[in-house]
Amino acid sequence: MASSSKAITQRAALIPVLAEVFRNFGYEGASLARLGEATGLGKGSLYHLFPDGKDEMCTAVLADIDDWFQREVFQPLRDGPDPQAGIAHMFAQVEAYFLSGRKVCLVGVFALVNVRDRFATSVHSYFADWTRALQAALERSGHAPADAAMLAEEVVAAMQGGLVLARALDDPAVFVRTLRRWQQRLHTEPRSAV
């Protein structure tokens, strides 16, 4: 019997719960027992919803994350009417998504830990899309392409580093300060090298 009071029966509703387990324990640490405990489902139910097992659960989680970022972050950066608004929206959404530094980036975790190269392409495109979308917004707001590419790379890396340091020091404010600094730089220095 699972410890949760009720089980989640819809596959879509299950994804965020599975995501949290993968985020906190990594792929190898996310055992079926933990995944079952978190969802309140037995192994049979999990395999009914995800016939390919843990691999499929993880793929679904990564796809869900990618969907969210495409919709809420990358697309506004690329195609929004106001690039500066898109950038401000990115900072706001990212701060909310990572709970101001209390939540870690699953894609960042998978970037660091080799899981038999299974999710390497998902990890690659997540970060490639993010940097390209931010670069596009920066170009549209007046940066030279080379500057925009460099800045985009630096901001995306800084966010990941902020999450690492916030978690390491158990101080979520580290992440928030990182966001604030870069938001101010991108806003106040639209065309000079920072």
Partner DNA sequence: GTCTATAGAGTGATAGAC
Partner DNA sequence: GTCTATCACTCTATAGAC
The stretch among 40-48, 118-126, 141-149, 175-183 that binds DNA (CB under 7 A) is 40-48
Query: Token match 């405990």: residue?
Result: 37
User: Shortest gap between Cβ of 129 and DNA (angstroms)?
Assistant: 28
User: Shortest gap between Cβ of 150 and a second copy (angstroms)?
Assistant: 7
DSSP string, 12-36: HHHHHHHHHHHHHHHHHH--HHHHH
Burial class (CB in 10 A: 0-12, 13-18, 19+), 100: middle
Site string for a second copy, 117-156 (x = CB under 8 A): ---x--xx-xxx--x------------------x--xx-x
The reply to whether 189 sits near a second copy by the rule CB under 8 A is no
- Which one-letter amino acid corresponds to residue 31? S
DSSP 8-state class, residue 70: I
Q: Are 155 and 182 in contact, with CB atoms under 8 Å apart? A: yes
Residue with Cβ nearer a second copy (49 or 74):
74
Q: Give me the residues that bind DNA (CB under 7 A), please.
A: 1-2, 7, 9, 30-34, 40-45, 47-49, 51-55
